[in-house]
Amino acid sequence: MSRNQEASGSPNLVVGIGASAGGLEAFTAFFAHLPADSGMAFVLVQHLSPDHESWLTEILGRASPIPVVEAEHDMRLEPNRVHVIPPDATLTVEDGRLLVVRPAPPRSSRRPIDSLFISLAHDQEENAVSIVLSGIGNDGSAGLAAVKDAGGLTIAQAEFDHQAMVGMPQSAAATGHVDYVLPVEQMPARLIEYRDHLALVADRKDSDGTRTDAAEHLATVLTVLRTKTGHDFSNYKIKTVTRRIQRRMQVIQSGSVPDYITRLREDPAEPELLFRDLLIGVTEFFRDPAAFQSLAVAVEAIIERPEGPSLRVWAPACSTGEEVYSLAITLRELIDARGANLDVQIFGTDIDDRAIEFARAGRYQRVVGISPERLKRWFFEDEGVFCPIR
């Protein structure tokens, strides 16, 4: 816990936990192994029927070593307390307080776990933890990326031998954004270790949370990473790279940068894990509306020119493809509106091979940034995911 947290009485970690309707057993097992004085705040989101009263608060209250309360709008997050989503609501976090919005969105667009995790990432940064427990579907998978990008910790439930359970945990693990796949009984102990490590290194960070001892070793870390993976990150933003290295050190609880360099050299898995952390892509459709408006003006000028019946567009660092599909939609709408005859080729590239595979498949659990009109015109739904019409 930081000095500011101690002074304010704020929780040292805010742990968001998501499960579907069958997650009661996992919730109960988790809190049965939690000490009463962890100093953490817990926010539970379960897929609930909007038409039925939930007994989750009462049932967990009998098994938990800490108080369990139903979340209320503007309720302050308290350490050593479990805050449970009420029925027919969306539960998020802002400025250390709970936001309860009713009614919940229609079932087809309801993703309460993603909503919670994304809000936790923005509000708590490295003090955020997201845990995906048993359930059907893929809710929570998108929110994990936001928590990881913000420097927080991500966990999914294991079925056995540290293999993710089918359903939501398996979907979460498949994103590559899960730090640990653990049996639910082991999760509280891992959280305690993570909490203690953050407290241990708190005085080595500057006012914005970046480690002050990393700069002198940064060149060595990047040299080892280039040797091991073949990828050079020396021209990336120094602060961004430093925070990604710092996050990996926190996940594995490495106390010093030299210790981490040794781990990077000797553990064959760690260079790849750091490489993936450096490539976290948080993107969405039409992410920068002003840029797409400027693009539209430029394309209109090209369309009006009589010469040149073809147009080639390159989207570097395309991540999981949202930008490429946004470009395609923009160009197609402009061409159709003017009845133009223009041959268009769009190339999307990225050094993250997993992101390229995802972009090529074009199956999106969330389509943030797309208007309902564009969603209806340019996408079709297949087994709960949205696919661009090609």
The mean pLDDT values, 10 residues at a time, for the chain of 390 residues are: 49 92 85 93 85 76 90 94 91 95 74 92 94 85 88 89 77 84 94 92 80 84 92 84 90 90 93 86 81 86 71 87 92 87 88 83 81 91 82
End-to-end CA distance of the chain: 51
Q: Which of 175, 198, 221 is the last residue of a domain?
A: 198
Task: Give yes or no: 20 in active site.
Answer: yes
284 falls within a domain: no
Same domain for 193 and 76, yes or no, is yes
Task: Give yes or no: 64 in active site.
Answer: no
Q: How many beta carbons lie within 10 A of that of residue 285, not counting itself?
A: 23
Same domain for 155 and 293, yes or no, is no
| HEC sequence for the chain | CCHHHHHHCCCCCEEEEEECCCCHHHHHHHHHCCCCCCCCEEEEEECCCCCCCCCHHHHHHHHCCCCEEECCCCCECCCCEEEECCCCCEEEEECCEEEEECCCCCHHHCCHHHHHHHHHHHHHHHHEEEEECCCCCCCCHHHHHHHHHCCCEEEEEEEECCEECCCHHHHHHHCCCCCEEECHHHHHHHHHHHHHHHHHHHHHECCCCCECCCHHHHHHHHHHHHHHHCCCCCCCCHHHHHHHHHHHHHHHCCCCHHHHHHHHHHCCCHHHHHHHHHCCCCCCCCCCHHHHHHHHHHHHHHHHCCCCCEEEEEECCCCCCHHHHHHHHHHHHHHHHHCCCCEEEEEECCCCHHHHHHHHHCCECCCCCCCHHHHHHHEEEECCEEEECC
> Which residue in the list 10, 38, 134, 139 is annotated as catalytic?
139
Name the domain count of the chain: 3
> Of 45, 22, 56, nearest to 101 (Cα)?
45
> Which residue in the list 10, 20, 134, 141 is annotated as catalytic?
20
Q: Which of 278, 301, 320 is the last residue of a domain?
A: 278
Same domain for 119 and 214, yes or no, is no
The domain that holds 19 is classified in CATH as 3.40.50.180
**Which pLDDT value is given to residue 3?**
36
Instruction: Find where tokens 């769009």 sit.
Output: 346
**Which pLDDT value is given to residue 149?**
87
Q: Which of 256, 278, 300 is the last residue of a domain?
A: 278
**Which pLDDT value is given to residue 53?**
64
Task: Give yes or no: 139 in active site.
Answer: yes
**Which pLDDT value is given to residue 303?**
78
Same domain for 193 and 222, yes or no, is no
Show the domain range for 105.
3-198
The domain that holds 340 is classified in CATH as 3.40.50.150
Same domain for 94 and 146, yes or no, is yes
> Which residue in the list 10, 38, 47, 179 is annotated as catalytic?
47
Same domain for 259 and 365, yes or no, is no
